[in-house]
Amino acid sequence: MFVSSWNNHHHHHIRPVYCTLVVLVLFLILLTAVVPPLATLSASFFPATSLSYARPSIWTVGRAVEWRPCNWWAPPASDGRPVLPPPRSNGFIRVDCFGGLNQMRRDLCDGIGIARLLNATLVLPKFEVAAYWNESSGFADVFDVDYFVRQTEGYVEVAKELPEEIASREPFRVDCSKRKGLFDYVESVLPALLEHRYISITPAISQRRDRYPLYAKAALCQACYNGLRLNKALESKAMELLNAIPKPFLSLHLRFEPDMVAYSQCQYFGLSPMSLKAIEAVRGDRKPWTGDAARDWRNRGKCPLTPNETAFILQSLGIPTDTTIYLAAGDGLMEIEGLTSVYTNVHRKASLLKNEDFIQMHGNTKAALDYYVSVNSDAYIATYFGNMDKIVAAMRTLARKYKTLLLSRRAFAEYTAKGMEGEELAEAMWKAHKEDFVMGRGSALPDCFCDFRL
């Protein structure tokens, strides 16, 4: 390739010896510029699937913008001291949460904001038996109740025990979870609260938090990001896991589980029969898109990255293939060889903890372990921007851990749709993520966080 491009661009009147010399010198210059130092070449560097050109690590890129907690809520901002709740409460609110751990946490956070908006007293939330996990796991099973009460003091009224007047009855249920679009809680929920004095709510998916007074937003932010920590038993188990992982390490949240793939309605080629069977088992009536619709869907960044694609992108980002990786993923993760054939130093919960550790553990408590390790890892990369990723990214931001990155499914889909592959694709992926990383995009944190120009 090198010689032929030389031939194309130069004229025949140059004398052959001179020519050879120039070729040699140029070749040497190119060799030192393009090929990484010999010391970094190892056998694992050149598997058939591997890229041969090492870019600098994405983490060495300087940031121009980063996210920080906004001054109006984060202690010890004395000027931003939130307005204390009025002494007379409008009633009691219990937040009922469903789904996986991080979805429940998201709903809890929203519910806290709503309780403060309505000048209500919060009772401890109910973490429901969830179909997805097939288990029951209450709030206190995961989080430290006393800490929560202490940390929310002055932001929102919390009652650890139900007062006598309501203790004997179930709350009046106000389910907002199916409500979409603009939704005004003062208009729609306050009347029920005033009438029944004790209600339970499940927050709506999209809300108008921008309309909240600052004191309600501050309550949400403080409770959600400074008020929740794992209870003692779970934290010590999580710490044991963290200690067992060789340092430094990257926590990789790889979401390629059957439910996720079925839900995405994406088309994949070349999956193993076992994976296909697992996906079909949970597919339900969500049939995958086909043809043009499937392509458009993919180009909009809707399709979860496979372990194989993830391995490619990590390499494009200059993450060395001998990096210690903790795989924050459920037991159902599929096609994992696509990652482990390239990244050979991958650890999972099941390989680090003893079997007995899991007997008492449910989906929610296992998810809590992944959460804890991911917040405390040296670097965090997510292949999807789901509930866990949003919360982990926020908690890492609070701890000023800047090595946090969400991979761009959209960029990957767009470039591959254009027919890019190999080195060209890797270069394009590097540039896309570099821009996101420099400008603090991609991991944009709403509501409680403000962007800060460095």
Ligand X SMILES: *[C@@H]1O[C@H](CO)[C@@H](O)[C@H](O)[C@H]1NC(C)=O
Binding site for ligand X (CB under 6 A): 49, 83, 86, 90, 118-119, 134, 186, 190, 270, 308, 311-312, 338, 341-342
CB of 317 to ligand X, least distance (A): 13
Q: Are strands 404-406 and 379-382 parallel, antiparallel or unpaired?
A: parallel
Is 265 or 340 the residue whose CB approaches ligand X more closely? 340
CB of 227 to ligand X, least distance (A): 20
Phi, psi of 273 (to 5 degrees): -55, -35
Is 5 or 134 the residue whose CB approaches ligand X more closely? 134
3-state secondary structure of 272: coil
CB of 93 to ligand X, least distance (A): 12
CB of 397 to ligand X, least distance (A): 29
Q: Any alpha helices (H) in 327-421, and if so which ranges? A: 337-340, 349-352, 355-359, 363-376, 387-398, 409-417
Cβ contact 135:149 at 8 Å: no
Partners of residue 382 on adjacent β-strands: 253, 406
Is 99 or 440 the residue whose CB approaches ligand X more closely? 99
Is 37 or 270 the residue whose CB approaches ligand X more closely? 270
Short-list 257, 307, 311, CA closest to 429: 311
Cβ contact 364:142 at 8 Å: yes
Is 6 or 263 the residue whose CB approaches ligand X more closely? 263
3-state secondary structure of 452: strand
CB of 285 to ligand X, least distance (A): 18
Is 67 or 312 the residue whose CB approaches ligand X more closely? 312
CB of 25 to ligand X, least distance (A): 35
Is 265 or 341 the residue whose CB approaches ligand X more closely? 341
Please give the Cα distance from 69 to 366 (Å, whole number).
28
Is 165 or 421 the residue whose CB approaches ligand X more closely? 421
Is 7 or 49 the residue whose CB approaches ligand X more closely? 49
